[in-house]
Chains A and B, each alone.
Chain A
Amino acid sequence: MIKSDVIVIGAGFAGLMAAAVSAKCGKKVTLITYGSGTFPLNSGLIDIMARPIDETVCATPLDGIKALPEAHPYTKIGTDIVEAAVAFFMELCEQENYPYSGSLTKHQWVVTALGTMKPTCLVPKTMLGDICLKNKEIVLIGFNRLKDHYIHVMKENLEQSLGKEKNYTSIMVDADIESGRDLSTLDIARWLNTPQGYESCLKQLRGSVQANSVVILPQVLGVKPDYAILDKMKKDLQCEVLESTGLPPAANGLRLQSMLLGYLKKNNVTMVENAKVIGSTVNNQTCLSITTQNAAREQTYQADHFILATGGFYGGGLQMETFPIIKEPIFNIPVRVKGNPEEWANEKLFSSQKQPFAEVGIETDEKMRPLDEVGNCFIKNVFVAGRNLSGYDFCFEQSGNGVALVSAYQAAMSF
C-alpha cells in the first residue's frame, strides 16, 4: 500500500500549486491527475481581482480584495496569506527561469484577441500590454490560414481601447507549414520554435516593422516555458514584442503548466496520471484513503491529508445532472443551490452583476476544510482549493487563477 503525507487530487492550476507548496514544505506528495484543468483554455495570466462588486474596475487588486464580502474565499483566507501566496508563486517562476511580472498593488493590462484591454495581475513577460500605452506605433501581426486570430477586429477595438491617435499597421505572415488540417496557434508556435520557421517569420517582418514599435502577435512565441524567442525577436526587430490572449489552445497556459510540472518533478512529487478518483474511505470524519480507476484496474492510495482541487462544473469536481442537485463525486461534500430556480442565472450572460450559478460551490472554514449544511467541519483532513469553492465568480471578478493560487497555498499550509 502506497502512503503519502499529502495527496493532491487534480492537475489544474490549483492542484499543481497545492502540490508545489506542499513539496516545498518538505512533505511527501502524490498528485493524482485525470485532466489538465483550464491550462489550455486560459492564457497563463494570474487574474487576482479586477471587479469585486460591480462593473467598476477597482483601483488595485489589493483594494479590490479588501472590498469583498465576507463569504468570498479571499476574505476568509485574509490578505496576509494572499500576499504570501503571490510571493511564493513569483519566487517559483523566478527559480524556474520563467519570471512573471506584476504585483498586488497595480493592475497589469493585457491585449486580448478582440483588441479590448483586460486587467489582470501577474503576467508572463510575453504579455505586458502596458507598453502599448506609452508607444505610438502598434504593429498587428496575423498569420495566413490561422482561423483563430483576426487582426482587423483587434485594430477596430484597439482604436477604442488605446485611442485612434496611435498608428496601427497590419502585417500578415505566411507560415510555410505543410498541413492537411487547419492551423492553430500551437502549430505556429512550434514552427517559430524551429530556426527555419523563425528566420522565415523574421524575414517577412523585417523591412515592414519600424524600430521601437510594439509588435503584437497571437500566442506563438514558442511552446516552452522560457523567453528565448521573445528576447530574440525583440533584439532582432529592435521592438517591443507582445502576445495577445486568444482562443484555446493557449500556448501561454501550456507554458505555465509545463513550468509547474517541471518544478514538481524536481521536488520529487509522485505523479499518477490518467487516474480518475472514484471514491474515498472516510471514518470518523477522517479520510483514510481514496480509490482511483486507472487504465487497467482500481487502486487505493492512503495519506494523512488530502487536497481536493478537482475544479468546478467545467472540470467535473462538481456535477449537476439535474437541477438543482449538485454532487461532489469523491467525498460527497454537500453543495446546495440557494434561492429559486428562476434566479439561478442572470438574464444577461455578461451582465453588471455576478452570476448566481458561478458562486455556488463547497463552503469551507478559513483553513479550507469543507463544511456540512449547518456549518460544521465535514471531513477533518480534506482541504479544498480552486474552482469548486463557493463565494466567487471567476469571470465577473476576473479572479479565477488568483483564487486557485491563494486557496491552494492556504490548503497546503493548513496542516
Chain B
Amino acid sequence: MEKATVVVIGGGATGVGILRDLAMRGVDVLLLEKLDMVNGTSSRYHGLLHSGARYAVKDQEAARECIEENSILRKIGKSCVEATEGLFIRLPEDDVDFEGKWVDGCKKSGITAIPITPQEAWQLEPNLSHQIIAAYRVPDAAIDGFRMAWQNIDSAARYGGRVKTYTEVIRIVSENGKVIGLDVRNYFTKQTYFIACDFVVNAAGPWSGQIAALAGLDVNVQPDKGTLIAFNQRISSRIVNRLHVPSDGDIFVPHGSITILGTTSMSVKDPEDTSSSFHEIESLLQIGEKTFENLRKYRVLRAFAGSRPLYSASGGKGRGASRGFVILDHSEDGLDGFMTITGGKFTTYRLMAEKMTDIVCQKLQVTTPCRTAEEALVPEVTEAVKTKARKYFPAYGTELAADRLGADRFKRVVERLEKNPEERQLICECENVTLAEIEEVITEGTSFTLSDIRRKTRMGMGTCQGNFCSLRSVGILSRTENIDQKQQSLQQLQEFLQARWKGIRPVLWGNALRETEMARGIYGVGLNVNGGSPK
C-alpha cells in the first residue's frame, strides 16, 4: 500500500511550496495533482512579482507581505525572476486623491516608490501614453510561474519530497473523526486505489471548495476568472501599472520576448472555465490602449484565463473580496488531520507555505525550523557547463536554456548534446528547444502528453504556436517506450492543437489569423489530422 505522512493536494504554487518546506524539514510528503503540475492558476496569471504597491491603499498587511516575499524570491529563485522594476502611471481620468493615499500607503508598507516626471517616464518607456500626469518607480518584477514551481519540485525532490501527477483525489477517508488516507483515481487508466496518510493539506486553489466537499466540509471559495492577453513583443522594458483603484486591464508585464496584459475579474461557477471571449479581449484592449496608445499595432499571440481562489467567510466577490490567504484547521469542524489553505497570491506563496508547514509540523511534533527563505531553489549553472553548451546552442539559446532547466537538468542536456549529435536538432525553432531537452524531460517520467512537455520546455509557446513542432514532438513522445498510459498519437496531436487554438480563437485577426490559415493548411489539408481512410 502506498503511504505518506502528509499528502498535499494541488500542484500549484502553494502546493509545491508546502511540498518543499515539509520535505526540507524532514517530513515524508507526497503531492497529488489531478492533471499536470502548474496547469491551473499558478501559470494562468500575468506573472507579476508584486512589490506590494498595488495593495498599498486597500490592504497594507498584504502590501508588506508582498515586498518582503519579493526580496526573498529574487534571492532564492534568481533564474525565475526578471528584475524589470515597475512603473505606476496616473492618467487624467485617474483620481488625483488616490495618488496621495497611495504614496502614503507605500511609505507605511515599506515600499520604495520614487516619483519621476512624465518626461522621465517617456524616456524610460517611449511607448507610454503622452497623457501621463504622474509616474513612480517601484520594485515590481516579472516572475515565471512554471519555472518557479518546477524549481520548488526539484528542490523538494532533493529532500525526498514526492509528486504524483494525473492523480485525482476522489474521497477523503477517515476513521473516528481522523483522516487515515485518500482514494485516488488515475486520469488515464481510471483505476482507483488507496493512499494511506496521517495528514492531508488541501492546497487546491480555486478547487479547494470541491476538495473540502469530498470530506463533507463547506469551504466558501469563489473561483474568479481573470482573462489575459499575451503580445508577441516586449512593449515596455518595465512593468506598467495604472495608478488608480485596482481594476481590469491595468497591468502590463514584460516576460522575455512577450508582454502580458491583464486582467479581468469575473465570478465563475467552475474553476475549469478558462474560456475567453472576443468581448473580454476587446474590453481589455480598450483599457490597455489608454496606457499604450499604439497597443493595437502589436501582434497578439494568444489569450488565456485562470481562476483566482477568492475565499470569503461572508461571501464577498471579485475585487471586493480579500486577496489575503486563510488557513482552516478542520479539526474545528470535527475532522482531525485535514487542513485547507486558500486565497492568497503567487507573490506570497512561500510565506503561505511556511505558515501552513509550521502548523503541520507542530501537530507532527517536528521542530526543524523553516529554511525556505534562505536556501536557493536550485544550484546555479556553472560557467564551465555554459561554455560547453555554447558549442551546441544558438547564440542566445544558452542562457535561456540554462535558466529554464536549472543546473542539474541543464548539465544532463549538455551531456546529451555532446554525446549524440542527432539530439542537437532544434525541435521548436521559436523557443530554441532541442531534441536533447525534450528527451531529457520525457525521461523524468512526468510527461504523458504534448502539453506536459510544453509546460516544461516552452515548446510550442512561441511565434508559430506549434505549427511546426507539434508533429515533431508527437513523433518524439510516441517513440518513447517507458511512458505508461501513452495516448494514441492522433489524439495527442488533436488535443495539443486544440489547446493552442483555445487561446488563438478569441484573438483571431492579424498574424494570428495568418498562422491559423497555415496551421489548417499543414494539419488539416496536408496531414488530415482528423483521420481518414478509404475503407
Contacts and interface: CB of A to CB of B under 8 A. Distances in A.
Note whether A and B form a binding pair. yes
Nearest to B528: A118
B533 A161 contact: yes
Interface string B400-430: 0000000000000000000000101111000
Given A313-B513, A344-B278, A57 B489 contact: no
B176 to A, nearest CB: 49
A206 interface: no
A33 B472 CA distance: 32
Q: Which of B278, B426, B498, B509 has the most CB of A within 10 A?
A: B509
Contacts of A400: 521, 525
A348 B498 CA distance: 7
Interface stretch (B66-74, B133-141, B166-174, B473-481): B473-481
Contact of A357 (B510, B513, B532): B513
Given A245-B526, A358-B520, A116 B278 contact: no
A147 to B, nearest CB: 5
A314 B518 contact: yes
B76 interface: no
DSSP majority for the A interface? loop
Contacts of A124: none
A43 B505 CA distance: 27
B533 A349 contact: no
Contact of A350 (B494, B505, B533): B494
Interface in A136-164: 144-145, 147-150, 152-153, 156-157, 160-163
A43 B471 contact: no
A394 B521 CA distance: 8
Contacts of B366: none
Contacts of B277: 342
A58 to B, nearest CB: 13
Nearest to A50: B532
B505 A160 contact: no
B269 interface: no
A161 B532 contact: yes
B325 interface: no
Interface residues of A, number: 62
B529 A41 contact: no
A344 B506 CA distance: 9
B425 A147 contact: yes
Nearest to A323: B509
Q: How large is the interface on B (under 10, 10 to 19, 20 to 34, 35 or more residues)?
A: 35 or more
B532 A150 contact: no
A169 B274 CA distance: 44
B296 A119 contact: no
Interface in B493-528: 493-494, 497-498, 501, 505, 508-510, 513-514, 516-528
A133 B534 CA distance: 8
B489 A114 contact: yes
B521 A38 contact: yes
B435 A147 contact: yes
Interface stretch (A22-30, A209-217, A246-254): A246-254
A346 to B, nearest CB: 8
Interface string A390-415: 00001110101000000000000000
B533 A117 contact: yes
Nearest to A396: B524
Interface string A338-359: 0001101101111000010110
A341 B505 CA distance: 11
B315 interface: no
A113 B534 contact: no
A70 interface: no
B528 A116 contact: yes
B488 interface: yes
B535 interface: yes
A107 B508 contact: no
A182 B516 CA distance: 25
Given A117-B533, A350-B523, A345 B426 contact: no
A185 interface: no
A160 B532 CA distance: 9
A321 interface: yes
Contacts of B523: 350
Given A130-B534, A153-B474, A320-B513, A42 B494 contact: no
B532 A113 contact: no
A321 B488 contact: no
A40 to B, nearest CB: 11
Given A153-B474, A349-B501, A395-B524, A162 B510 contact: no
A322 interface: yes
B91 to A, nearest CB: 22
A30 to B, nearest CB: 27
A289 interface: no
B496 to A, nearest CB: 11
A349 B422 CA distance: 33
Given A313-B517, A349-B519, A394 B525 contact: yes
30 contacts: A114-B489, A116-B490, A116-B527, A116-B528, A117-B533, A118-B532, A119-B532, A133-B534, A144-B422, A145-B422, A147-B426, A150-B478, A153-B474, A153-B475, A160-B531, A246-B526, A247-B468, A247-B471, A247-B472, A248-B522, A320-B509, A320-B510, A321-B296, A322-B510, A341-B278, A341-B279, A347-B505, A349-B501, A358-B517, A396-B524
The 8 nearest A-B residue pairs measured at CB: A150-B475, A349-B501, A314-B517, A395-B524, A118-B528, A395-B520, A341-B278, A161-B533
Given A148-B472, A320-B513, 16 more contacts: A42-B521, A116-B527, A116-B528, A117-B528, A117-B533, A149-B475, A153-B475, A156-B478, A182-B425, A314-B517, A321-B509, A323-B509, A349-B498, A349-B505, A349-B519, A394-B520
